[in-house]
Amino acid sequence: MNKETLKTEAAMFSALAHPLRLKILEKLHDGPCCVCKIIQYVGGEQSNVSHHLAILRKANIVHSEKKGLEVWYEVTDPEIFRIVDLMHGCIVLNLKKSRDILNSLIRSVK
């Protein structure tokens, strides 16, 4: 893969590399949603959530649309959810492996 593509891909992963942003995506999994609901869901300062939404927007992971006073956000490509889910699977597998190793250690000591 060429240098520019690697950089772009790294930037996409970087956009996912924050718990608050993952939580925003979790909320958007239920469908499009206005900022006020997102803020309720993820908690914290309005301006902070807005900054994180901007990061997701700049990475083209979400896009927004004004509806009267509100702004509604939506995921650009639902494949992003598969990525998040796969990563979750990796973590669960890791944990399971660690647990297995720990268990066999405990058995060998007993």
Partner DNA sequence: TTGACATATGACAATATTTACATATAATCA
Partner DNA sequence: TGATTATATGTAAATATTGTCATATGTCAA
36 binds DNA (CB under 7 A): yes
Place of tokens 């992971």: 61
Residues in the chain: 110
Q: Which tokens sit at 19?
A: 């718990």
Determine, following the binding rule CB under 8 A, whether residue 11 of this chain makes contact with a second copy: yes
- 39/88 Cα distance (integer angstroms): 23
One of 30, 68, 86, 106 touching DNA (CB under 7 A) = 68
Pick from 69, 91, 106, 109: which binds a second copy (CB under 8 A)? 91
Q: How far apart are CA 58 and CA 10, in angstroms?
A: 14
Q: Which does 103 bind (CB under 5 to 8 A by kind): a second copy, DNA, none?
A: none
* Structure token pair of residue 65: 């649309």
Cβ at position 110, least distance to a second copy in Å: 27
Does 108 sit near a second copy (CB under 8 A)?
Answer: no
